[in-house]
Chains A and B, each alone.
Chain A
Amino acid sequence: MTVITRGFSGRGRQSENLPPGQYLTEDFPVLSAGPTPRIALDRREFTITTETGQRHTWTWPELMALPAETPTVDLHCVTKWSKLNTSWRGVSLDVLLGDLTDASGYAMVHSYGGYTTNLPLPDLLDGRAWIAYEYEGEPLPPEHGGPARLLVPHLYLWKSAKWVRGMTLMGEDEPGFWESLGYHNYGDPWREQRYWGD
């Protein structure tokens, strides 16, 4: 039985409209599995590799030229903090994936620095995911994944890969960096899918 520490309330607060087990926070914790990649903007690219091996690459200026959206979303981290009503600017994956997929199968998302995460393709489509490059009206800072990160707010935040460099479309699923070491393969915060078997 854990002892309660008198007088300690910590930063997180509980709130009714949060997924189970989450605490509300006002700040934006920086979590990272490795050093912040620093790659010159003119060498930044985003590449989608299809199941047949075709590569579609957008340079940074090309990405910036695509139609953008400004979603406001809630973020839920598996380490139990949630941050509500965060505002972003980015390109919808519907625009990038467009004709490249029939919406079946999976994607392995790759980041500069080697991080990976996997998702079913339908979870990247229908307005549910973006390649985001602005946060709260400013260019996305490096510690939060800038210049560009994946943003998939309906899943736990580890799926919103920072420093995104591309994705590989796959017919069969394969676990990414955290999914291969205990974290849930899908990661729905509303069903509290944090770990294998949840």
Chain B
Amino acid sequence: MDETWLDGNELAGAMRELFAVDVTMARGQCASCGRTGMLAETRVYAMAPGLVVRCIDCEEVLLRFVRGPDRAWLDMRGVGYLEFGLPAEPVPTVGP
């Protein structure tokens, strides 16, 4: 068994430095195999110069994150989209 990975909870702290919402609760789609799920349900390789988040099914890279001293980089090309739950509100009408 590959014991080197942790689950997506590992991502939560790093992402909360960047975003005001808990990104691990967002649902996404793997751009490689199409699997959908919450970002908390992924494999996170954290013993690295950055975080590498992989699909729990196909193991392809979903997301990569590097934290420098005064900058951070986030690559999300492995995730097709993210769906965030938000408090219910009417959607404004667009138009004249």
Contacts and interface: CB of A to CB of B under 8 A. Distances in A.
Interface of A: 29-36, 77-79, 114, 143, 158, 178, 180-183, 194-195
Interface of B is mostly: loop
A182 B73 contact: yes
Interface of A is mostly: loop
Given A34-B59, A178-B66, A183 B49 contact: yes
Interface in B1-45: 2, 4-5, 45
B64 A181 contact: yes
Interface residues of B, number: 20
A195 B68 contact: yes
B4 A36 contact: yes
Contacts of B4: 30, 32, 35-36, 143
A183 B54 CA distance: 20
21 contacts: A29-B47, A30-B4, A31-B47, A32-B4, A32-B48, A33-B45, A34-B45, A34-B54, A34-B61, A35-B59, A158-B49, A178-B49, A181-B64, A181-B66, A181-B73, A181-B75, A182-B68, A182-B71, A183-B50, A183-B66, A195-B66
